[in-house]
Amino acid sequence: MGELINPHEIYLGTFFERFNMRFGPADPNAVSHWLSGGITEIAALQKEFEIFKTGRRFLESVALLGLGGDAVGPAKDRWIAYLEKLPKMKSDDAEQTGDARIVNALVANFLKGEPLPCFMQALDGRTVDPGHVIVSEGEPLFYLEPTKFLVISLPMRPKSAPGRG
């Protein structure tokens, strides 16, 4: 991802935030899944419309949910370009590309009786399983009561200086 993200790109986190809000924990006091938000609302949409489907690219599904960003501009262009590269990336499952790993993990999560909320984050693609998308279960937000999430970690690295590869 280094070749796509400029050193001054501070807006990348907004794309993660949008995903994390839509797929996060639902309001337990809401009277319907449409009012609860978070994973409960997304699970209802998944059940009705099969937004995430094995064989469908992750980019297509998140675009349908409006998670590619609102504004047109360089940050959105680079984010979309990154998502377009997921089918060529490796994952922590040698049998699946990064793209397939994310989609299949989400599909499996939605098939559970109560799907886990999901959390997307960047990981240092230079050090931790270089260049591999990693999907796991964990508690990435220490400040919430123990809440288990499906964690999607996307490998990223800083842009190389000219002449350094």
Q: How far apart are CA 43 and CA 12, in angstroms?
A: 25
pLDDT of residue 164: 46
Location of structure tokens 């997307």:
120
pTM higher than 0.75: yes
pLDDT of residue 27: 84
pLDDT of residue 3: 46
pLDDT per residue rounded down to tens, the chain (165 residues) = 444 455 546 667 788 999 999 999 988 888 776 777 899 999 999 999 999 999 999 999 999 998 876 666 777 888 888 999 999 999 999 999 999 999 999 999 999 989 999 999 999 888 876 779 999 999 999 888 888 999 999 998 876 644 444
pLDDT of residue 79: 87
pLDDT of residue 146: 82
